[in-house]
Amino acid sequence: MIDRGKRNVLGVLIDEVDYEGAVERITSAATSGRRCSCTALAVHGVMTGVLDREQRYRLNALDLVTPDGQPVRWALNALHRSRLPDRVYGPNLMLAVCESAAAAGLPIYLFGSSTSVVEKLRQSLLERFPGLLVAGAEPSAFKRLGENERLALIRRIRGSGAAITFVGLGCPRQEVFAYECASELSMPVISVGAAFDYHAGVSKEPAPWIQRLGLQWAYRLAQDPRRLWKRYLGLNTMYVALLALQLSRAWRPRATGAPPTEMLGYG
């Protein structure tokens, strides 16, 4: 098991952790009813923190940030000699946590995406893990919630008896949700993004060899080039350039940010 704490990648703190370490941290918090705000960051997620000081503050306040993308794992290994053998990919982390939750009798809550997707996801997880307890499954409202709406959502999740909440709102909204709501929920809140669509069977994951080579971004770009070309080509180029500067020690990014000036209330 690997769980050696946080390391600075372009000013964003990423945990030097493997699947076993991440699952242990999450299930331990769930068993004792403690907060564990968690996300799995690929390059796009890291760059949201690089380019937005308030988002960097949120990300660096999360309890567990796993290296979701191979380029993020490679950065940890190059910058900090982490020797991580694999990334901790959000969709796979979700399955590993569900397996552990089923064995331990820890109910889960699913929040995000659309009504049809979240229902297909619930059915898929129950088929895959027969002992899993799904305390609730609720779609996103696809808007910023007012404070009363946000508190009502927290009451619904807590009142369901769930011990772990999975969030699929997309980056960066799901990380904002985890930052803003994890303390009030007093349980692990895990941002897993595309895992909802993948495990619901509405989107197809790239082949394992594409994932191993760190080309998942290219697979997604090919599927939706008009929407994603600026995100991937621009941000990936910037990521490589900044990583080269940090590796050469020409730039020493500070893992600080600006405390958010308002609650965004994504839901």
Determine the pLDDT at residue 233: 74
Determine the pLDDT at residue 231: 67
Determine the pLDDT at residue 213: 57
Give phi and psi for 15, each to the nearest 5: -80, 135
Tens digits of residue pLDDT in 24-40:
999 999 999 999 999 99
Burial of residue 83, with CB atoms counted within 10 A of its CB: 0-12 exposed, 13-18 middle, 19 or more buried: exposed
| 207-228 core/surface letters (b: 16 or more CB in 10 A; e: else) | eeeebeebbbbeebbeeeeeee
Give the rounded percent of residues in the chain with a pLDDT score beyond 90. Answer: 85
Determine the pLDDT at residue 1: 95
Tens digits of residue pLDDT in 122-163:
999 999 999 999 999 999 999 999 999 999 999 999 999 999
Give the rounded percent of residues in the chain with a pLDDT score beyond 70. Answer: 90
Tell me which long-range contacts 240-244 makes (C-beta under 8 A, separation of at least 24).
Answer: 242/10, 242/50, 243/9, 243/10, 243/75, 243/78, 243/79
In DSSP terms, 144 is beta-bridged to 266
Confidence label for 17 from pLDDT (cuts 50, 70 and 90): very high
What are the residue boundaries of the structural domains of the chain, listed by start? 3-200
- Residues 227-237, mean pLDDT to the nearest whole number: 74
In order of 38, 98, 256, the CA distances from 64 in angstroms are: 5, 17, 17
23-32, 47-56, 63-72, 202-211: the lowest-pLDDT one: 202-211
In order of 70, 165, 194, 228, the CA distances from 219 in angstroms are: 14, 28, 13, 11
Determine the pLDDT at residue 203: 77
Predicted structure pTM score: 0.93
